[in-house]
Amino acid sequence: MSTNYEAGHVYTGKVTGIKPFGAFVALDDETQGLVHISEIKYGFVKDIHDYLKVGDEVQVKVLSVDEASGKISLSIKATEEAPKAQAKKPRRRQGAIKAAEESTEGFNTLRDKLTEWIEKSKREDLIKK
């Protein structure tokens, strides 16, 4: 590596290659790093080609530098602002269960029958000897 790249710094690079697992970005004529598919953008990335193409100039943040192997891990999403978390909607199933509990139809008839069966099982005149 001709230039020392430090973790945490942001650089401008050019996409030189795209593989299913990530994109290779040249930081200079002699140095390139890998942006893993999980570091392309926030959220799920199915196909990198939907976001990048060879020759694109991108801002990348250096995540780590392995001097021994010469590998540099990069991130594009680390240079962007994280999306704000959206409030989760309550699951419909919970509402359906509450509605069923309040309803006088459906399982309530089974509950009534169960009570009737328990009462019948206690009656001496119905017990077979």
- Is the Cβ–Cβ distance between 31 and 67 less than 8 Å? no
What does the pLDDT look like over 26-84, one tens digit per residue?
A: 999 889 999 999 999 998 999 999 999 999 999 999 999 988 888 999 999 998 888 88
What does the pLDDT look like over 3-18, one tens digit per residue?
A: 688 889 999 999 999 9
Q: Report DSSP letters for 8-62, one per residue.
A: T-EEEEEEEEEETTEEEEESSSS-EEEEEGGGSSSS--S-GGGT--TT-EEEEEE
**On the CB side of 16, how many CA atoms lie within 13 Å of its CA?**
13
Domain boundaries, the chain: 10-79, 92-126
DSSP bridge partners of 15? 25
Q: Which CATH superfamily is domain 10-79 in?
A: Nucleic acid-binding proteins (2.40.50.140)
